[in-house]
Amino acid sequence: MNKKGFTLTEMMAAVIIIGVIASTVAISFNNIIAKNKENKYKEFKREIEQAACIYIDLREYKPIKDACYSSGTCNVKVKALVEGGLIDEDMINPNTDQKVNQNLNVQIKWGSDKVKKCTLQ
């Protein structure tokens, strides 16, 4: 008699192998999604920080600029960046999937090397 087909053991081995491969792919996919979201937030944050640095440089009202520079630290609200046209008010925070909070501050500090560093608070 000619037997064709797979034994139960062979079928179980194939199912286990497919399960291991599927779980590995799912874990890798979740890691890629998490890393992508983290990179989007870093880009979002960097864009706001750069806008704040530009905002201080563009201030036509020199006493504000001088006060920030002489004190070594000042804060700029995201709302001022939106009003100044440096960022879009509809900008979405990738961590919350909501519009950027315009009450957030960006802290601007000048180092001993006279270079400013802008940090979203």
pLDDT tens-digit readout, 31-72: 999 999 999 999 999 998 888 888 887 876 666 666 777 777
Residue 91 · residue 99 · CB < 8 Å? yes
Q: Does the pLDDT at position 22 exceed 90?
A: yes
Choose among 44, 51, 46, 40: nearest CA to 83.
Answer: 51
**What is the pLDDT confidence band of residue 116, given thresholds at 50, 70 and 90?**
confident
Residue extents of the structural domains in the chain? 8-120
**What is the pLDDT confidence band of residue 95, given thresholds at 50, 70 and 90?**
confident
Minimum mean pLDDT range among 16-20, 35-39, 97-101, 109-113: 109-113
pTM of the model: 0.70
Q: Is 46 helix (H, G, I), strand (E, B) or coil?
A: helix
- Cα 112 from Cα 19, distance rounded (Å): 58
